[in-house]
Chain A
Amino acid sequence: MGFKNYILVCGGTGCESSRSDQIYHSLIDEAQAQGVSDQVQVIKTGCFGFCEQGPIVKILPEDSFYVQVKPEDAKELIAEHVIKGREVTRLLYNKAPRKAYEEVEDIKFYQKQLRIVLRNCGSIDPENIDEYIAADGYKALEKVLFEMKPDDVIEELKTAGLRGRGGAGFPTWMKWNFTKQAEGDEKYVVCNADEGDPGAYMDRSTLEGDPHSVLEAMTICGHTIGAHHGYIYIRAEYPLAIHRLEVAMKQAREYGLLGKDILGSGFDYDIEIRLGAGAFVCGEETALLQSIEGHRGMPQPRPPFPAVKVLWGKPTVINNVETWANVAQIINKGGAWFASIGTADSHGTKVFALTGKICNSGLVEVPMGTTLREIVYDIGGGIAHGKRFKAVQTGGPSGGVITEENLDTPIDFGGLQKIGSMMGSGGMIVMDEDDCIVDVAKFYLNFTVDESCGKCAPCRIGGKSLCNILEKITQGKGEESDIQQIQQIAHAMRIGSLCALGQTAPNPVLSSLRYFPEEYQAHIHDKKCPSGKCKKLISYEINPSKCIGCTACSRKCPVGAISGEVKKPHRINGNVCIKCGVCKETCKFGAIEIH
């Protein structure tokens, strides 16, 4: 039996944090109370991507896109939309009757996106295998088991030109092929879901919204390379994703899609979850495998490469979540289809977590070759609060900054590398004029220093030394020779570190030095922080021509540094001021300036 309306409620971590679970239950309760529970089906889906506007509720078949919904709104949604067939205008994205945009796709945030990896996120119930199957799920596995030879699968991936989405961009078919050809009675398949880049959540959202797409792909790989066992290594910090994976694995076993004799093909294959425990370095393949084995996650020298010999000494294919999520689509639609999307260098799409000082924070998936300008301005809606764009950081703590002049660079693996950054796993952090580039570089370095496993000296000592220099610069104690020293240490780290964590750790500093040399000079020479972030280098002053003497700031000042008579300009005592900025936030007249 069909329903009159299907109500999709976003069940991603972002929206759940804004009480979407309560909305889900309120909608069910209201439908019951108003006597229409036989007419509507309420479904909790994965992430819609438009996190800025969450929690999101979409009602089908009208495709009404409701944003910032509260549990209290459930009553009105059922009474108006479901029963009377009238949209609740005040909750619609553009708050207007739907003329301006007829379909969700017409919302600017979605216009330039193409969803392959996130195809099912926000449209199916991730805890119901039937919905995945209805969306062509497990069709690719069936094709691989009964119609294709293992070499055909590898050939299809080769035609597709799929490259690893974890950051390095290594061709996926080659990894599979190496492992397939490697000698060994036992082989393993591993999914790297240890998403460690702070400010990135592509993999988490994929697993929360469409866990079967990863299970299906891992099973396809197992059959192709001759493995019978897979592991998903996932951050313990992702409880919802872990739960959805567990549910998905259980359902897949019940349907004969995992376990013994899959679909009667005689092929045995099963998957286990292994929890990470908060170590960024475990995103590095060899460290991750150490961690699965239950050890400290220390990277190992390569060769031997994982494809030949690693997990318990056996050949292992290891791919990132987003890479896996592409595989079934490639098998279904063909490698040529996939290769037709994107640029010559990089095929397909890439998912980014667009965050920072941007109007529309969220999860976006775009074809390779889309420019950063399109992502920041068309999809992201530009910089929040009318501020000026400063830079975008891609590649997280291993990447670099991209400035205005390079915003028209088409995004692909080679293009980003050329301008001193990298694709990385998909974090995309937007900075505005208030962000100090030296401070941000320091932030990333602090992160990598904290996460360095300490095994090799260039990373352990080099990172700390770089950090100390940056600290000195932001304290106003920088010297001319510091820049040269930064470059020397960075060079040593790049060539001397064992793994990518150490080799790429200097990137944020080097790229910000390359694009913002004047900002480093301002800190070092003039002892000034142009964006007013480095507290040691700024002072707060009251502009007497703007101050009307309302005393609001002096009442808020926690240390009593502001004095003056009522209705006369006030003054800040610089010796007492702790530079907390409360006065500036309080002043309605813009009289408080940073110098």
Chain B
Amino acid sequence: MAQNIFSDELNAFISEWKGKPGNLIMILHRVQEEFGYVSREAAEEVSKQLGIPMASIWGVLTFYHFFKLNKPGKYNIQVCLGTACYLKGGDMIVEELGKEIGVEVGGLTEDGKFSLEAVRCVGCCGLAPVMTISGEVFGKVTKDQIHGILDKFA
């Protein structure tokens, strides 16, 4: 039985890494893998277990884009705004998605279903413009496809 909010596996991971230098970022990745984000509560638990001050942990969390401090939606939408996607209209995809689900970049719909994120380069520039929903990739997206794509996640 876990003694805290972390799963046994996560606690085991932390004990395994505890003695290694430079472990903080690796542990925070593992925390985010478990929860989908790093809550203040989770960060405090990491602070307690590693003996690293909360200020240092928060400093690292807010420095790196990859770490999320808020809970993402059931389906997390990522729109690529790398250069290739931007030139091919990625910004218009963001705009259209925002209109469809009624939130801005970084937002979460009221029912907690969709969150919207703008990211740098998903890595399939040949498919630009690209968006992903919970890991599923949609390439060469046009504005009028968006409604249909979202419907798949209804």
Contact = CB atoms under 8 A, between A and B. Distances in A.
A binds B: yes
B125 A357 contact: no
Contacts of B83: 198-199, 355-356, 393, 396, 427, 429, 443-444
Interface stretch (B2-10, B18-26, B102-110): B18-26
Chain B CB within 10 Å — which of A429, A444, A453 has the most? A429
Contacts of A473: none
A279 B25 CA distance: 12
Contacts of A14: 123-127
Nearest to B140: A18
Contact of A17 (B64, B86, B121, B139): B139
Interface residues of A, number: 50
Contacts of A362: 126
Interface stretch (A156-164, A255-263, A289-297, A315-323): A289-297
A356 B84 contact: yes
B22 A274 contact: yes
B120 A198 contact: yes
Nearest to A49: B126
A393 B86 CA distance: 14
Given A275-B29, A361-B128, A431 B87 contact: yes
Contact of B127 (A18, A294, A295, A296): A18
Interface string A361-375: 110000000000000
A535 to B, nearest CB: 11
B126 A237 contact: no
A17 B124 contact: yes
A296 B63 contact: yes
A410 interface: no
A361 B67 contact: no
Interface string B117-146: 001111111111010000001010001000
A52 interface: yes
B12 interface: no
Interface string A88-118: 0000000000000000000000000000000
Contacts of B127: 14, 17-18, 51
A293 B128 contact: no
A297 B66 CA distance: 13
Given A17-B124, A198-B121, A275-B29, A293 B22 contact: yes
Nearest to A384: B88
B116 to A, nearest CB: 17
Contacts of B139: 17-18
Nearest to A358: B84
A355 B29 contact: no
A167 interface: no
A278 interface: yes
14 contacts: A14-B125, A14-B127, A17-B122, A18-B127, A54-B126, A237-B121, A237-B122, A274-B25, A274-B26, A275-B25, A276-B64, A277-B64, A279-B63, A357-B88
10 smallest CB-CB distances across A and B, nearest first, come from A51-B126, A277-B64, A198-B82, A278-B65, A278-B66, A17-B137, A199-B83, A355-B84, A294-B24, A277-B66
